[in-house]
Structure 1
């Protein structure tokens, strides 16, 4: 619909431009007629020579300039500057018409009707208000000329006739302006039907994506940031199931209203899908976006929704993720992905909070030798590919990183060891890039051959990162995160303290999340069941000291009963 509207506007602009050229040619004909008397040209008569120089030549030059401008800049000058140029054109036309009338008899001139052309053009381009202004200016000029030229007449017949012409000017602009207004409202209504979400009255997903591409393009051209806020209603499925879809729709409408009322004119608030919303914030840095998101979060939390006391956290709340172009994303797709990543973190661990996007690999790049930056960027791309192949792997990595941070603090790891553990948690499954998607997502039990292929991912991961010198300390975690404390793991069957300490930590964290996550081939265990499984395998699969500390971390930091009942959304 937006394309159709643009095409229609282009057609109108083309017609208006042709009319303007026709008016200039008509003025040329009028001037030529002015300098022909008794069917003989007098253009080179001495008494008219200077008139020709002062009028005809500038007119021809102006026509030439207009032709060059029309064919070279059509559809290039838009927005504020295009509107200013159009208004300057209108003023020039009014001035030219006034000069023509002045040299062609002033109050006796028969060319006063020329003002009608510019009145019509202005009304079509800018609407009734501007059309009436131009018609009033034109009326004032012709009536003033009548009074100035014949000030002492008791009955000024020219003034009487021009009063009627002035009325025609105004009556032309008025109804034509109404038509233009009605036509514009009709087009706007059709656009809204296509671009606006019917339930929340925010923009819909399609318009959001189109607008994001445009805002990113503008941001790149003007060297301005573009931020994005992703919003998701916490436990919305539970509210819908408890109170019904009508109440759920009311929540969506109300939150849509809050978002609309608390965004700026230049922002693009949209319903992204289901209970997810998104806001594009042009020329907005991350700090500003975080402040806007936090204000929205508070307003949603403080408003009362019927039955919200039955929600797991006692309120209808929303989680939000923030990212910004070009600092956290290089294009529109990365901006969506990074904002969604930030939202995921906010939702999974605490909910009812705002998170800014952070990337472990961005931190790695900052601490990497210049010659290795390109390799680290390639690793980031590989991880994105894995996430696209297997959504579980993406969520799994994010959770393992989080658990690793908590456990690192509990174990009082040094800053460097904590950093290595987090890097290892982020990249431990990178070797899955070489594994077929059918194996990763297989719903039935893997064959021995398929299991052997899957067991190669620690070795594959080591091969991928071993060329990056700054990541050499991460290799033991990647190669050993499936070793067992009793020596029955893979790929090297290391036992006990032969397994690097950080790898033993990662094994516990990685296994706990695998136990408590849904996979295509198995249903997740509850968090309490996951803890019991760690205790059962303590001393055989896992280092017992690390298991003890990790269980303490989990019980102190995660609301197990809520997560078990409502999973991650």
Structure 2
């Protein structure tokens, strides 16, 4: 990456500055020796000494300021070479000792170390031409020595230049091995973190945006189990190629871990990032991978989450977390979709009173606890929230209640925070004590949100979402219209999602089977009017999904 190259160039510049200072000090000793200057006649030779001292100060000064003008670095280096030529011509033309020819060594060394063999050989050619021009005016009295010295210049240029280029090639390869994933040949996780740090720092200085895409392959375990990890690796390589081709020069592609990938998009907002994410999703879905028949829909798909700095997060850790939350939302709601970060908590918190916001943040944290204990509950709550909101919109419910139904649907299982992981994830049938414990989660959930007086109906939605229309539900056994509308909506969508979702101990029902099961309890467990509209909604959604596929 650029930081390694910058460090290397800085080290070389420092070495060159030190070398030039020492070189000119040695030149000073040589000057005094060859001109037999004593302290008594310093004034007489002052012109020569002043020129020497000025050049001594000028060259290191140019070297020290050159990193600040990286755009004109070559110009500065050529200027320094020109100064060396002036020094050489000045001393050699005044018939000083031919030892001053060693001044011509330093430009070759500089150009070889900084630019490689071609620039070094070109510099040697220019310096040799200068040397022979001086020899011409001296009638070639030292032609043999000039030829030998010119040969030394070319040899030095060839040797140091090739050493520099060899070092650069090896360093580039080692850097690639350190920064790129060995399988997919895109950036690895460490490089992803470094690049994200670099781009966020740049965006902060320039008041710009950075979007982050996280991508995860759906059901990839099925493929590895069916064909083995070697075939799975080939799919990962192909998917990395799709990412590189789709993103191009817009950003950086990295393997985040396993079958998860990341894309950093500097200077790109969340709306354009979502278009890029959708293009990636389509390319993956339309690609013909071998053996895709093992996937549920007969094709390889990916879920994608997107977040933007600084819109959704003000630092790297939060940006990754937000993109990860969007990814989980995409994965647990329906898979094969692109989700930009959105938090119902952010939306709902706006009308809250100041004294309620601290409690509200604690409730938000509870959802993360449930997520850690039981990923099914987390995904289930997101899907139920989406369906409950859509059904409320179709029933033309007032806006305030729609917001409360949405919030209540997301938190309807929050009471499960009081239930152990073993009970929540038990593969077999619950015993009586465990069942009685589980039936308490609506009560516990209602107690948790009870202090939020701004959303008093949310408590009722959570408390009564397991009540049946005929009064046979729990925890209170209320019936009919006494059950709040939000709770009646939630009763239907909660049951439907539970029926159609795969669990470790049972396969989910098909859409037709689930609707048939709901119909059996129309008017007993479920409000018949709401159920009729819900059936129309899911059939329309299924038809739209089939057309999209």
TM-score normalised by structure 2 residue count: 0.80
Pick closer, same or farther for the CA change 1:389–1:348 going to 2, 3 Å.
closer
Structure 2 counterpart SS, 1:270: strand
Aligned to 2:380: 396
Aligned to 1:47: 44
Residue 120 of structure 1 is aligned with which of 96, 109, 116? 109
1:473-484 to structure 2, matched below 5 A, reads: 473-484=457-468
1:286 aligns with 2:273: no
Aligned to 2:396: 412
Q: Counterparts of 2:314 and 2:416 in 1: how far apart (Å)?
A: 25
Q: Counterparts of 1:165 and 1:544 in 2: how far apart (Å)?
A: 102
Aligned to 2:26: 29
1:208 aligns with 2:205: no
Whether the 8 Å CA contact 1:16–1:121 is kept in 2: the answer is no
Task: Tell me how far 1:502 sits from its aligned partner.
Answer: 0.8
Residue 189 of structure 1 is aligned with which of 142, 154, 173? 173
Q: Counterparts of 1:175 and 1:262 in 2: how far apart (Å)?
A: 43
CA RMSD of aligned residues (A): 4.4
Whether the 8 Å CA contact 2:135–2:143 is kept in 1: the answer is no
Aligned to 2:542: 558
1:498 aligns with 2:495: no
Structure 2 counterpart SS, 1:554: helix
Task: Tell me how far 1:230 sits from its aligned partner.
Answer: 3.3
Task: Tell me how far 1:387 sits from its aligned partner.
Answer: 1.7
Aligned to 1:327: 311
Residue 81 of structure 2 is aligned with which of 88, 91, 94? 94
Q: Counterparts of 1:496 and 1:197 in 2: how far apart (Å)?
A: 60
Pick closer, same or farther for the CA change 1:262–1:122 going to 2, 3 Å.
farther
Aligned to 2:495: 511
Residue deviations 1:166-209, cap 9 Å, x none?
Answer: 44334333343333333333344344445444554333445434
Residue deviations 1:4-23, cap 9 Å, x none?
Answer: x95x9858854762453132
Task: Tell me how far 1:398 sits from its aligned partner.
Answer: 1.5
Worse overlay, 83-92 or 404-413: 83-92
1:144 aligns with 2:154: no
Worse overlay, 411-420 or 160-169: 160-169
Q: Counterparts of 1:416 and 1:476 in 2: how far apart (Å)?
A: 15
Q: Counterparts of 1:470 and 1:30 in 2: how far apart (Å)?
A: 85
Whether the 8 Å CA contact 1:143–1:162 is kept in 2: the answer is no
Task: Tell me how far 1:505 sits from its aligned partner.
Answer: 1.0
Pick closer, same or farther for the CA change 1:49–1:168 going to 2, 3 Å.
closer
Q: Counterparts of 1:250 and 1:294 in 2: how far apart (Å)?
A: 23
Task: Tell me how far 1:423 sits from its aligned partner.
Answer: 1.8
Q: Counterparts of 1:329 and 1:488 in 2: how far apart (Å)?
A: 46
Aligned to 1:565: none
Q: Which runs of 5+ in 1 are unaligned?
A: 71-76, 563-569
Q: Counterparts of 2:349 and 2:116 in 1: how far apart (Å)?
A: 55
Whether the 8 Å CA contact 2:332–2:380 is kept in 1: the answer is no
Worse overlay, 345-354 or 322-331: 345-354
Aligned to 2:14: 17
Structure 1 counterpart SS, 2:467: coil
Aligned to 2:518: 534
Structure 1 counterpart SS, 2:248: coil
Task: Tell me how far 1:294 sits from its aligned partner.
Answer: 3.3
Aligned to 1:226: 210
Pick closer, same or farther for the CA change 1:537–1:126 going to 2, 3 Å.
farther
Worse overlay, 35-44 or 164-173: 35-44
Q: Counterparts of 2:24 and 2:51 in 1: how far apart (Å)?
A: 14
Pick closer, same or farther for the CA change 1:209–1:111 going to 2, 3 Å.
same
Structure 1 counterpart SS, 2:247: coil
Structure 2 counterpart SS, 1:105: helix
Whether the 8 Å CA contact 2:218–2:300 is kept in 1: the answer is yes
Aligned to 2:407: 423
Q: Counterparts of 1:38 and 1:163 in 2: how far apart (Å)?
A: 25
Task: Tell me how far 1:146 sits from its aligned partner.
Answer: 4.9
Pick closer, same or farther for the CA change 1:171–1:292 going to 2, 3 Å.
farther
Q: Counterparts of 1:291 and 1:271 in 2: how far apart (Å)?
A: 21
Worse overlay, 101-110 or 392-401: 101-110
Whether the 8 Å CA contact 1:136–1:170 is kept in 2: the answer is no
1:136-535 to structure 2, matched below 5 A, reads: 136-137=122-123, 139-141=125-127, 143-144=129-130, 146-147=132-133, 149=134, 155-157=139-141, 161-162=145-146, 164-193=148-177, 195-233=179-217, 251-265=235-249, 267-273=251-257, 275-301=259-285, 303-304=287-288, 318-346=302-330, 353-368=337-352, 376-443=360-427, 454-468=438-452, 470-519=454-503, 524-535=508-519
Residue deviations 1:344-384, cap 9 Å, x none?
Answer: 55556666554323222232245556776665555434423
